Amino acid sequence: MWTIIAVVFYLMLVGYLGFLGYRKTTNASDYLVAGRQIHPYVMAISYGATFISTSAIVGFGGAAGVFGMGLLWLTFCNILVGIFIAFVVFGNRTRVMGYHLDAHTFPEFMGKRYGSRFIQVFSGAVIFIAMPLYAGVVMIGGVKFIEIYMGVPYDAALAICAVIIAAYVIAGGLKGVMYTDAAQGTIMFVGMSILFIFTYISLGGFTSAHQALTDLADKVPEKLAAAGHMGWTAMPRFLSTWWWNLVSTLVLGVGIGVLAQPQLVVRFMTVKSKRELNRAVFAGGIFIFMMTGVAFIVGSLSNVFFFRTQGMISIAAAGGNADAIIPLFISEALPKWFGVLFLLTLLSAAMSTLSSQFHTMGTAISRDIFQQLTPKTKKDNTLIIARLGVLLGIITIVILGEVLPDSIIAPGTAIFFGLCASSFLPMYALGLYWKKATPAGAKSGLVVGFLGSVFYILFIHAKESAALGACQALFGKPNLVPSLAVVDPIVIVLPISLLVTVLVSLFTRQMDPQQVERLFRR
Amino acid sequence: MFGLADPWIVAAYLLCILSSLLCVLYGWAKWNSDGGASSDETAKWAKEEDKISDTL
């Protein structure tokens, strides 16, 4: 009962803040034209809320329950690459070039940078096709918690989540009003802080909790030990299957992939000045640590709790589904009232991220694909297409919520991040910093990165190729190159697409020097 | 150290904290740098942006 009251109250609060933000018109042009001031706290914390989703907390927290604290290398990458490098190195250059190009979406930014409609349409298509997978796993993160914490069947929990999110999106959540994001970020920060402190206290303190987890090393299931798992406070055996899974897929895939996330790159363009970027770095580092760092530490330590209370490790207590570990830990180890707060934390994390994902999907289908292919069409039609795109996106993620297998959140996120990195990162990074990058080079890198990733997922990376079955059907074996079966696509495909972009750029016609200078002016 | 079995895990934990501190110090040091007066170009961009979010 209290849970329902809290959720309804929360939704009313979010709705009210959205209305307040809308009425005060803290949107981009008013801010710029009137020079209105937004408090730096609101500005900074709203970024974090968009970055961190239920995928990071529930999915990767659960993965930490299986892999252990080695996942903290991902938190380190998230802070250093996802915040520091992204904001300090890429952020301002993106912002300035975005203004010069008058670009409003990531595909439009790339298309105008290279003067190529193909790049804009192709990038938009990649986003529109692949983004639902990421949005789907973000939603599953919330659904899993509702299922376990409130004891409702999965399908009903999925329906509840879909209705809340659809209502939020339709009621104007897409506007991404900063007040709403900041309120959601604050709830996330408070929720994760309590979780962090409570977990350490309940397990006997900082060092004792770690020691207890270290002592569980001999409880690693034989199959995982054979694959290279050496305990939850140790890295996997160097170059073992388990090591490749952790380092190449989870740490590198997501850690580097964050640089080329279309919905995050767009954020840099909506920033008003370099000052705001610097201020966001201030709060961003701590915020990411309190989100992913805490989720990974708590996920790992949950093994101690489940072993003490049930005599089994987390993944066994969760019935083999890593996505259920964090929800189960919250509902069994923490006071009931915290479960309500954590539910709001997850709703906040899901809604703030999904709103930006739907915004990106909506603009990809309308502005980047439809408007580019049919430039003479009426504005009304573009609007209808955008809304249809968002609706299609919602339906797709509900279907994905039904059909995707267990323990999918972390790998699903990693696939999307890896795909974005291999397809977009070379042309994006070189486009910002290398005047000699040519349209032909960018196109080649984009196509090689995307098709290379898809090929690798279908025919080489064992985890997906075995599950998807295309390789078995065509070649009669689960994957084509057994020695690369555990190496993530990003390790192979990203360097290839980068090399292709550079080489093709060196040997093709350069862009007009005057035009390039205009792009690179500060 | 800290009850953790592997120096690589200790390093990861410490690097997380140090990189957070780096972000704090950087943001603090540059808090007021580059105030960035709004130009006509950014204002034009922002108007277009509002139009897009309104249509969505």
Q: What gap in Å lies between CA A128 and CA A230, rounded to an integer?
A: 40
Contact A300, A68 (CB under 8 A): yes
Q: Which residues in chain B have Cβ-Cβ distances shorter than 8 Å to A76?
A: 12, 15-16, 19
Q: What is the pLDDT of residue A307?
A: 94
Mean pLDDT of chain A: 85
The predicted-structure confidence for A333-382, as pLDDT tens digits, reads as follows 888 888 888 888 888 888 778 877 887 888 888 888 888 888 776 666 77
Mean pLDDT over A180-198 rounds to 87
Predicted pLDDT at A26: 46
Give pLDDT, residue A301. 95
CB A291 within 8 A of CB A56: yes
Q: Does the pLDDT at position A278 exceed 90?
A: no
pLDDT at A362: 82
Q: Tell me what pLDDT residue A174 has.
A: 46
A208/B45 CB distance under 8 A: no
pLDDT, position A317 = 93
**Sequence-ordered list of residues with C-beta below 8 angstroms from that of A55, at least 6 positions apart, any chain:** A134, A137, A138, A141, A353, A409, A410, A412, A413
Q: Which residue in B has a C-alpha nearest to residue A231's C-alpha?
A: B5
In this structure, which amino acid lies at residue A408? I
Residue A23 pLDDT > 70: no
Q: Which two tokens stand for residue B35?
A: 């105030």
What digits encode the pLDDT tens for the residues A446-482?
Answer: 999 999 999 999 899 888 888 778 888 888 888 888 8
Interface pTM, i.e. ipTM: 0.84
Residue A70, classified by CB atoms within 10 Å of its CB into exposed (0-12), middle (13-18) or buried (19+), is buried
Q: Please count the other Cβ atoms lying within 10 Å of the Cβ belonging to residue A429.
A: 18
pLDDT at B31 over 50: yes
Q: Contact B23/A281, CB-based, under 8 Å?
A: yes
Rounded to whole angstroms, the Cα distance separating A238 from A53 reads 30
Distance from CA of B8 to the nearest CA of A (A): 7
Query: What's the pLDDT score for residue A70?
Result: 94
Q: What is the mean pLDDT of chain B?
A: 79
- Decide if A384 touches B, using CB distance below 8 A: no
pLDDT at residue A34 in the model: 39
Sequence-ordered list of residues with C-beta below 8 angstroms from that of A180, at least 6 positions apart, any chain: A14, A17, A18, A21, A173, A352
- Alpha carbons within 13 angstroms on the beta-carbon side of residue A225 total 8
- Find chain A residues with C-beta within 8 A of B12's C-beta: 69-70, 72-73, 75-76
Range among A51-65, A276-290, A425-439 rated most confident: A425-439
Q: Does residue A321 or residue A263 have the better pLDDT? A: A321
Greatest alpha-carbon span in chain A? 70
On chain A, the residues whose CB falls within 8 A of the CB of B32 are: 275
Distance CA A237, CA A245 (A): 11
- Confirm if A94 and A268 have CB atoms less than 8 A apart: yes
Q: Note whether A245 and A486 are within 8 A (CB).
A: yes
Interface contact flag, A275 B36, Cβ < 8 Å: yes
**pLDDT given for residue A32 in this prediction:** 43
Q: What is the largest CA-CA distance in chain B?
A: 58
- Check if the beta carbon of residue A447 is closer than 8 Å to that of residue A439: no
Q: Alpha-carbon distance B1 to A231, whole Å?
A: 15
Residue of chain A nearest B6, judged by CA positions: A234
The whole-angstrom distance between residue A134's C-alpha and the CA centroid of its chain comes to 7
pLDDT score, position A173 = 46
Structural contact between residues B43 and A102, judged by C-beta atoms closer than 8 angstroms: no
Q: Find, among A360, A366, A357, the residue nearest to A387 by Cα.
A: A366
Percent of chain A with pLDDT over 70: 91
Q: Kindly state the average pLDDT of the residues A14-23.
A: 65
pLDDT of residue A39: 63
Task: Say how many CA atoms lie within 13 Å of A258 toward its Cβ.
Answer: 27
The token pair that represents A107 in the structure block: 């595909």
Q: How many CB pairs under 8 A join A and B?
A: 179
pLDDT at A103 over 90: no
Contacts of A363 in chain B (CB under 8 A): 52, 56
Instruction: Give the mutation candidate from B1, B17, B18, B42 for the A interface (greatest A CB count, under 10 A).
Output: B42
The rounded distance, in Å, linking the Cα atoms of A392 and A16 is 27
Chain B residues in contact with A281 by the CB 8 A cut-off are 23, 26-27, 30
Q: What is the mean pLDDT of residues A21-50?
A: 56
CA A249 to chain centre: 14
Name the least confident of A15-24, A49-58, A141-150, A262-271. Answer: A15-24
Main-chain phi, psi angles of A121, to 5 degrees: -70, -45
- Taking residues A513-519, report their average pLDDT: 84
Please indicate whether, in this complex, the C-beta atoms of B33 and A208 are within 8 angstroms of each other.
no
Q: Is B7 on the interface with A (CB under 8 A)?
A: no
Contacts of A428 (CB under 8 A, 6+ apart): A90, A110, A259, A260, A265
C-alpha to C-alpha distance for A209 and A305, rounded to whole angstroms: 10
**Segment A150-175 mean pLDDT:** 76
- Which pLDDT score is estimated for A31? 44
- The average pLDDT across A416-433 equals 93
Contact A353, A174 (CB under 8 A): no
Question: Can you tell me the distance from the alpha carbon of A15 to that of A257, in angstroms, rounded to the nearest whole number?
Answer: 32
* Contact list, B30 vs chain A (CB under 8 Å): 275, 278, 281
- Asked whether residue A385 carries a pLDDT value surpassing 60, the answer given is yes
- A479: its two tokens: 């994957």
